[in-house]
Structure 1
Amino acid sequence: MAKRLVIVESPAKAKTIGKYLGRDYIVEASFGHVRDLPRSKMGVDVDNQFEPKYVVPTKARKRVTKLKKTAKGKDVFLAPDPDREGEAISWHLFELLEKNPKSIKRVEFHEITKDAVRRAFEHPREIDQRLVNAQQARRILDRIVGYEISPLLWKKVGKGLSAGRVQSIALRLIVEREDEIRRFVPKEYWSLEAQLSSKRPEEKDKVFVAKLDRVNQEKIDLNNAEETEKIKTALEKSEFQVSSIEKKERNRKPQAPYTTSKLQQEAYNRLGFPAAKTMRIAQSLYEGVEIGEDAAVGLITYMRTDSVRVAQTALDEVTKYIKEHFGPEYLPETPHVYKSKKSAQEAHEAIRPTSAYRPPEKIKSYLSMDEFKLYELIWCKFVASQMAHAKDQVTSIEILAAEKYIFKTTGTINVFPGFLKVFADALHAKKKKEKEEQKEGEETHQALPELIQGESLDLHELISSQHFTKPPARFNDASLVKALEEDGIGRPSTYAPTIHTLLAREYAERQSGALVPTDLGEVVVKQLVEHFPTIMDIEFTANMEDELDKIEEGDVDWVQVLKNFYPPFHQAVETAQVEMKDMKQELIETEETCEKCGKPMVIRRGRYGKFLACSGFPECRNTKPISTGVACPQPDCSGTLVKRRSRRGQPFYGCSNYPKCTFIANKLPKPEEDKADQSSASETNHDSHKPSVNDSTPQ
């Protein structure tokens, strides 16, 4: 009979570990947290050292009973994930099981492989109370903020709303970006390019493009067509001559292996994976995949990390792999060392494959397509991080015309691929044209002919182009995660859940991949910024994250952090109870008439934003969605599209002439006149204007 019990969070993890440990061990799953604060009340005694009142959730009771029974008389090893949450789960299990087992120890591993698990069980430890306190402080802090602000939002804005430290800051970023886009005024500018070639027979067929850069050695800004055409006319019969040629070698360095935030960003940019999907797939790769005779094995290290550190054994292995598969010239003189950010938990490693000797193609048949794509990203990034620099030859050419106009062009030739070799050989991920990717050698440069300084060139054509400055792009999963990380908001485990919450609460919605605030989201941010400026302050929230990190390091007492925070926060809540405007009662008059009773229609706010309602309420209860102003695309239909919701609350667009017209769409079709200029959702300019029936936020 087994004498040892191992408890992990998930059945998948239990299955993988169970195969490594043998018959002397029983491996059970806790299915996540086994204790938490109650859902029906705050569960924190703010007058008694912020003592939490933990309860076992209903769904966990049978599981806890089974674990208690199984633990009797056994040595228990607590093996949840190696982070604050995992330590907290271990502590809660310890508190629940303390009287039953023979002994209780904590084991920790950052990858689920046979060797890593064996080493962990050779070095069990006690529970780290500092980690527990850091998680507990975060949980209590979030509960206090949510429990005191959310009912206020229910009362003043709408039922079912919530507020949170990180989610509210994230929503503020999205709303403020939308405000920037609305205020943005496009500015016209022009460019002038020359299509040129050498007069020499051996090079004359190689036409290249150079762009006007300077006039009389000063940078030039072309602001209108008249100005541009004047220069164009002056140049059409001018001589173009090579005035300078500069060639230099450029080294391109590989990037560090992935942290959680960088993985989420690149998985979105390259694969189109939302942050939540990335973490779900990464979890399955970490917990174990059946790969032939090796049985189940964890393919990557722990996926919630802000560290770029790599274990020496992994460095030794990847160095050997690169030498064998690419050649010694692809190794740097010394291994690359990457520096983690200041707040990183250096006990963790970067996200990397558990073995460099499992290249993606070798195990592709054992993975789903999404698992393969994400594993390929992780494997390539890690192997590339320890390869030699790529070497380019960059040629910059300046061309003088009409004695004062200087055109410039640049050509790049890769002379040694270095780390780019691994991407060229293995990377099949769909790539998007984003600046992030330029760092890994996906730049596209024209090939330049061999020119001689002083030689004259043939002018084929002068091309003038009109441009307009673009508004800042709306946030997407990748750019929002990047912004939160740069501002010091949240930690690796919070990014994906934060975005999920904003979408689930319908504070934001996706439009062509972009995160766009709803009317409800904008109202909530406005109220929170006005009445809770501290909670909504980015610097304050970042400093609070630092305080929580200091608790983990043992430098700050967790109760004192809460004592410093609570009194001014609670006072702000009490003030807001009196001063916050009741948005539910706000009415906006319109010129539309109720077709049922003839009284004027007004705009009201509801759970899902604005809608039209009869001013004769409650005698007349007529309501209807607000038109988006976009004409129904069905032929011979005079209706406009309105935003509706399905029985499950999912938004869609339907015709205002329903049921006569049954047109529906998941996305709002663009007006015909706009279709020619739709490069992306983030490039659309929205003018701000007064609300009316046809141009208010769609319902």
Structure 2
Amino acid sequence: MPVVVVESPAKAKTINGYLGSDYTVLASYGHVRDLVGKDGSVDTDDWGMTWEVPADSKKRIKDIADALADDPNLILATDPDREGEAISWHLQEALLNRRGIKKDMPVSRVAFNAITKTAVQEAIANPREIDTPLVHAYLARRALDYLVGFNLSPVLWRKLPGAKSAGRVQSVSLRLIVEREMEIEAFDPREYWSVRAMLETPRGQTFEARLVALAGKKLDRFDLADATQAELAVQAVESRDLSVTSVEAKPGTRNPSPPFMTSTLQQEASRKFGMGAKAAMSTAQRLYEAGHITYMRTDGIDMASEAVHAARDAIADRYGKDYVPGSPRMYKNKAKNAQEAHECIRPTDMTKAAGDLRLEADQKKLYDLIWKRTLASQMEAARLERTTVTIADRDEQVELRATGQVVAFEGFMKVYTEGRDDETEASEDDKRLPAIHEGDAARKVAAYADETSDNQLVKAPSNAVLGQQSFTQPPPRYTEATLVKKMEELGIGRPSTYASILGTIVDRGYVRKEGNRLFPEDQGRLVTAFLSNYFRRYVGYDFTAGLEDELDQVSAGDANYKDVLGRFWRDFKAAVDETAELRITDVLEKINEVLEPHLFPDKGDGTDPRLCPRCEEGRLSMRTARSGGAFIGCGRYPECKYTRPFGPPGMEGEQTGEDRMLGVEPESGLEVWLKSGRFGPYVQLGEKTDENPKPKRSSLPKMWAPEALDLDRGLQLLSLPRQVGMHPEDGQPIETNLGRYGPYVMHKRPEDAKPVYANLADEEEVFTIGMNRAVEVLAEKRANPRGAGRQAAKALRDLGEHPENGGAMAVMEGRFGPYVKWEKVNATLPKDVSPEELTVAQAVELIDAKAAKKKPARKGAAKKPAAKKKPAAKKAG
């Protein structure tokens, strides 16, 4: 039986069902070979590459070789793209090396865009050879990524401690995110105001209009610059009678979006479901392998003619012939660097909606999206009527405008409309307007009485006119959808790589996701700053896109991949060599300059933003901690040990989450963290690593507020236990620390079996107590072991003599809270009574109540008779 090899067991199972028992279908489980993971695996002289077969793949190759022993007819049916071609090539090479096949043995390569019975059988009937240009394109990309990784990453490790890696495309996508964040930080918002009015037609229908002209002058965005101007505009609208001066209706059409390709599927899955690129591709892969959709890694948006006709038939059947355009819609890819242009991503059977298939939840959502988009792409355009209404007073001193639309025919919108990257993109045109006629009176209606806003509002007395403050907004942070869209526009990367690129920069801690937004981490900023200054060409958008163009030419057979590699390596090697003499101090100072607006923002008062706030002499600069993280420190170290977390000033108090970096311990260079554990908040020196498996920790005292903790207090806690000095009598150390029962001083004489612990009245004494006081407290503890333990109680107030029985009364602070002390009676204060507000009468009442509880029972008091036992019930029978 001929042996058919595919990538995955799921795909093998589906294809085996189509081919039957006449074929043996096996899975390679992806690539069977990879570059050896060490320097020198790519020979830069002749561009030879050293491959290795992982242990798991050796078994796969053996199984294939064993199957070929019975029938030496090998059919390679891997995916129809560059990566699939490479997997087939690796399989052929590995089998040749293992002598599973002979050099003169014919090997068939088949490819199909959809796993359907017809497509598979047609591909088997029309085999071809392995596409050498596609393999060369794969080899070129693999070599480029290897050369960048094995040469650029070590430069980062040496010159920028803590940096993990750099990549040919990942570093460019990281640069996009970092530069967008810097735009946001540098953004200076500008105030402006808008004025709206709620109006009513003579038929009692309301609509909202916006002020567009005042005193005969058209209003630009910033013409109403403050509350005073807005209030005057509100008064002008409020004081005038208004009427409709014109109604203009224009017919329009809206055409559907083209069917999905890889990048647009990732974008729409992110917009509509919050599904990341990696999750979207994994789900699409399962749909493809089950035979429900065509191949999901494609730049193409064209559709096979038979699929177009099937879509048109499905539209007519489900929605009627009115929704089918007169001729099929044709789409042409406008994306830069489009290559390997397979068919679009579409259902293999247009008649089956998501409800007609048995699918898991995530597969069902994605299939429904693909099915709707495909059908919509071949449907009739939506017909709209866009209406613009102008309202003014008789003298035309104020002019307002209302816009909206009426959908005359839904067309493709009955099935699907494309999502937006930002819902604020919705315009006034999307509103529906009531029937309005020229000459109609426009009466103002109270509508804004309950209107609230984070910004200022100016309301007319009638509550029918509203002025609202707004500010210009910075560009939005990237989402996965908008980042993929931007990379596609720039021609960076390929659709099949977007998911892995995004996953890499998140996994390496360069970027974090909050909601669906991408935020650069400090390490990502540092790597970008370094590469942008010392390897600017290689994180350049045009250079990266140009290299993609060259690789596309290799795919098409129009360029030699070794020539492309040679040109890249020559210049790249020179750039790497130039960094050999760089000193870390020079690198850090350069990064200080690049990130200065972020790290040291101008205060606007003429002072140096880099002046150390503690010593007021040294200049602040970025430094790297031993753990690899970055922090800001004073240039006069060790004379001045001021540090703060990496980032703008004030960030130390704004960090969210349970973990907060307080700064860096100057001597060790380790970060000081405030963390939260099962026993409460604590400070920790450095992170837990293989080299530092048990980082030093110290719990926060109960009276310390975690939100108020700073680096100095954190270092104080980490300095415990504190050695006060040596005892003058025996020369043994005296130490202070914080324990379960509060602050204490400890000392152990040579003749003692156990150390002596003496409680301290105040936590601050742990850090300040001197030798004389420590020796005194220890002596008191040894002289009165039980009583000394109670000396930790601190007198808060003297209440004077007990009015009936005599004896001093006082309010004390104890381990378990404040209490009233009188002779041997200690009465705890209720929670709703503070020590400062406690009266003498209340104190006497508490003491008497406590004393009554402590009185023993009178001698000879009658005991309560025991209850008589009931006789046991007799057993029946």
Residue among 680, 684, 687 paired with 1:661: 680
Kept after mapping to 2: 8 A contact 1:42/1:144? no
- Residue in structure 2 matched with residue 412 of structure 1 by the alignment: 405
1:632–1:180 Cα change, 3 Å: closer
Deviations 1:533-556 (A, max 9, x none): 110110010000000000111111
Once the two structures are TM-superposed, the CA of residue 266 in structure 1 deviates from its matched residue by 0.6
Q: CA deviation at 1:345?
A: 3.2
CA deviation map 1:244-284 (0-9, x unaligned): 11111111100100011101111001000011110110111
Residue number in structure 1 paired with 2:100 = 100
1:625/1:642 contact within 8 Å kept: yes
123-132 or 3-12: bigger deviation: 3-12
- The equivalences for 1:580-619 within 5 A come to 581=584, 604-605=624-625, 609-610=629-630
Q: Note the C-alpha offset of 1:578.
A: 1.5
Alpha-carbon distance change, 589 to 403 in structure 1, aligned in 2, over 3 angstroms: closer
Aligned residues: 621
Give, in whole Å, the separation in 1 of the partners of 2:370 and 2:662.
40
Closer, same or farther: CA 643–8 of 1 in aligned 2, 3 Å: farther
- Please state whether the residue corresponding to 1:44 is helix, strand or coil: coil
Distance 1:126 1:40 in 2: 32
TM-superposed CA distance for 1:96, in Å, is: 1.9
Deviation of the 1:214 alpha carbon: 2.8
Q: 1:75 aligns with which of 73, 76, 80?
A: 73
Corresponding position of 2:273: 271
Cα offset for 1:433?
A: 7.4
Distance 1:585 1:448 in 2: 60
TM-score, normalised to structure 2's length?
A: 0.66
Number of the residue aligned with 2:731: none
Whether 1:197 and 2:200 are equivalent positions in the alignment is yes
Distance of 1:210 and 1:310 partners within structure 2: 45
* Residues 535 and 541, structure 1, Cα contact 8 Å, conserved in 2: yes
Q: Distance in 1 between matches of 2:414 and 2:181?
A: 40
For 1:416, the aligned partner's letter is: F
Q: Aligned AA for 1:380?
A: K
- CA drift of 1:506 comes to 0.8
Equivalent position of 2:364 in the other structure:
372
The residue aligned with 1:561 is 564
Which of 29, 32, 35 is the matching residue for 1:31?
29
| Residue matched to 1:222 | 224
The structural deviation recorded for 1:369 is: 1.0
The SS at the match of 1:158 is coil
Across the aligned residues of Structure 1 and Structure 2, the Cα RMSD in angstroms comes to: 3.4
- Determine which of 305, 311, 314 is the counterpart of 1:321: 314
Amino acid in the other structure paired with 2:228: E
- 2:484 corresponds to: 481
Measure the CA separation in 2 of the matches of 1:390 and 1:219. 33
Q: What displacement does 1:660 show?
A: 6.3
Report 1:295-444 matches (<5 A): 298-341=291-334, 343-345=337-339, 347-363=341-357, 366-401=358-393, 402-423=395-416, 434=422
**Aligned partner letter, 2:680:** C
User: CA offset at residue 227 of structure 1?
Assistant: 1.2
Q: How many Å separate the matches in 1 of 2:428 and 2:398?
A: 27
- 1:673 aligns with none
Could you tell me whether the CA contact under 8 Å between 2:403 and 2:429 is conserved in 1?
A: no
The aligned counterpart of 1:596 is: none
CA contact (8 A) 1:629 1:640 kept: no
1:51 aligns with 2:48: yes
Q: Say which is worse superposed, 367-376 or 70-79, in terms of deviation.
A: 70-79
Which residue in 2 is equivalent to 1:240? 242
Distance 2:167 2:654 in 1: 38
- Specify whether residues 210 and 654 from structure 1 end up closer, same or farther in structure 2 by C-alpha distance, changes over 3 A only: farther
Q: Is the 8 A contact 1:213 1:408 kept in 2?
A: yes
Equivalence for 1:4: 2
- Kindly provide the amino acid, as one letter, of the partner of residue 367 in structure 2: Y
Which amino acid counterpart does residue 610 of structure 1 have in structure 2? A
- When residues 531 and 178 of structure 1 are mapped into structure 2, their CA distance, relative to the original with a 3 A threshold, is same
Change (3 A) 1:391 1:113: same
Q: 1:583 to 1:116 in 2, by over 3 A?
A: farther
Rounded Cα–Cα distance in structure 1 between residues aligned with 2:676 and 2:495: 47
Instruction: Write the deviation string for residues 296-344 of structure 1: whole angstroms up to 9, x where unpaired.
Output: xx11111111110101111111111111111111001111111113532
Q: Is the 8 A contact 1:208 1:446 kept in 2?
A: no
Change in CA separation of 1:113 and 1:662 when aligned onto 2, cut-off 3 Å: farther
Match of 1:293 in 2: none
Q: Does 1:251 align with 2:249?
A: no
Shift in Å at residue 286 of structure 1? 0.6
Query: Structure 1 residues 657 and 85 mapped into 2: Cα distance closer, same or farther (>3 Å)?
Result: closer
Contact kept, 8 Å, 2:163 with 2:523, in 1: the verdict is no
- Amino acid aligned to 1:451: I
| 2:438 is the alignment partner of 1:450 | no
State the alpha-carbon separation in 1 of the partners of residues 628 and 276 from structure 2.
Answer: 23
Q: 1:512 to 1:528 in 2, by over 3 A?
A: same
3-state SS of paired residue (1:523): helix
Amino acid aligned to 2:436: L
Matched letter for residue 393 of structure 1: E
Paired residues of 1:602 and 1:615 also in contact (CA < 8 A): no
1:591: how far off?
7.2
Which runs of 5 or more structure 2 residues have no equivalent in the other structure? 446-463, 593-609, 664-671, 684-709, 713-877
1:160 to partner: Cα distance? 6.6
Equivalent residue for 1:675?
Answer: none
**Worse overlay, 354-363 or 607-616:** 607-616
Give the % identical residues. Answer: 40
> Normalization by structure 1: what TM-score?
0.82
How far 1:225 moved relative to its partner?
1.1
Q: CA deviation at 1:219?
A: 3.6
**Cα–Cα, structure 1 residues 40 and 418, in superposed 2: closer, same or farther, change >3 Å?**
same
Change (3 A) 1:184 1:255: same
CA positional deviation for 1:18: 1.1
2:208 maps to 209
Residue 52 of structure 1: SS of its match in structure 2? coil
2:404–2:429 CA contact under 8 A, matched in 1: no
Contact 2:31 2:87 in 1 (8 A): yes
Q: Is the 8 A contact 1:10 1:30 kept in 2?
A: yes
In the alignment, the residues of structure 2 paired with residue 657 and residue 104 of structure 1 have an alpha-carbon distance, to the nearest angstrom, of 61
SS of the counterpart of 1:534? helix
Cα distance 1:437–1:631, how it changes in 2: closer, same or farther (>3 A)?
closer
- Shift in Å at residue 663 of structure 1? 9.8
Corresponding residue for 2:516?
Answer: 513
Paired letter, 1:434: D
| Structure with larger Rg | 2
User: Gapped runs of 5+ residues in structure 1?
Assistant: 289-297, 594-599, 645-652, 665-691, 695-699
